[in-house]
Amino acid sequence: MSAGPLAGVRVVELGGLGPGPFCGMLLADLGADVIRVDRPAERGNPPRFPVLHRGRRSIALDLKHPEGALAIRTLIGDADAVIEGFRPGVMERLGLGPDVCLAARPALVYGRMTGWGQDGPLAQEPGHDINYIALSGALHAIGPAGGDPVIPVNLVGDFGGGGMLLALGLVSALLHARTTGQGQFVDAAMTDGSALLLAMTYGFLAQGTWKDERGVNTLDGGAPFYGVYRCADGGHVAVGALEPDFYSTLLAILELRDDPHFARQRDRAAWPSMRTRLTEVFATRTRDEWAAVFEGRSACVTPVLSLTEAAEHPHNTARATYRRGPHGGHEPAAAPRFTTTPTGDPAPAPLVGAHTDEVLRRAGFDDQHITTLREKGVIG
């Protein structure tokens, strides 16, 4: 398949939504041969999430049919890793649980992606990103002082604390399996992952340098020199002048160096008046005017870009951070970057089931067997 540090690694991804496909995308971007298993009824349809499904081969197979489960076990017999995102117990009921799969292939890495984890009082409860980050404490920490929590899209639970954590777990377990020949299953829960993302915050809380409140701390928008300000045109700028040098440069550019309100940067009692003054100043020019004023000035002030603008910003363009996808829009390029094993451009997401026959033939199924499975509705 594609180039990259994971070239030669084969992964079977049992179709799911959100964090599971994101994990599969990350592995495929880095060169793994990822075979995604979708439902037969969807065969021939475009993928629902074309960016998340890029770089794969797709087969359409009914996991609930006994012969479908047998076909999956055959595919897994030639795989290095499996990704599944069903509720605990579902794969066991299908005869595809980790015990069965590891018995057949001892070096297999079996990755399980859930919100609550494989055990605990909530393991069988439904939920979404917002619910998982609510219980981990992450949602409580995001938002304005005195205001309601702000939903950080689904970046913290689904992707940062979910799919990316599972990808790290799989690669770590693959390294162990390559060394020892011993596989294992990886339990990645979005509650655990989003809690892990709070490591620094919990450290500050334990030190007494973080208040367990929204919008009153240095890094959550409480500090006036680390926040977002509205400009004359309704756009915004992001100010991150944490260090004294950057703070001093910020004040010089805004002609606030002699303002007594700004004399003591870390004086929390002065923060409200500082914020009021900064709000007034930034409201006098447009976002792009401020961007021009601060460009190259080392004050840590940047424009807040929309998704479309970000894809077209000169820095992102120079680094090819985004690419034009086959669907006509922008999409993020593969990351991170490697010097010895560079990644290629991800292949477009295939139609559902586009590689069913090809993958099954490679696994040892002859044409008559494939025809029989299709007649029985096992494959699309």
Q: Where are the domains of the chain?
A: 10-197+347-375, 226-230+236-303
245 is catalytic: no
> May I ask the CATH architecture of the domain 10-197+347-375?
3-Layer(aba) Sandwich (3.40)
Q: Exactly one of 65, 128, 313, 355 is catalytic; name it.
A: 128
Token duo for residue 75? 């595919």
Q: Exactly one of 29, 38, 80, 158 is catalytic; name it.
A: 158
pLDDT level of residue 334 (50, 70, 90 thresholds): very high
140 is catalytic: no
Strand order in the sheet with 301-303: 226-230, 236-240, 301-303
pLDDT in tens, 244-283: 999 999 999 999 999 999 999 999 999 999 999 999 999 9
Residue 298 backbone dihedrals phi, psi, to 5 degrees = 55, 50
What residues does 265 pair with on adjacent strands?
Answer: none
Question: Could you tell me how many helices (H) and strands (E) the chain has, helices first?
Answer: 15, 11
pTM, two decimal places? 0.94
pLDDT in tens, 86-108: 999 999 999 999 999 999 999 99
Q: Cα angle vertex 87, ends 86, 91, to 5°? A: 60
Instruction: Please give the CATH topology (third level) of the domain spanning 226-230+236-303.
Output: formyl-coa transferase, domain 3 (3.30.1540)
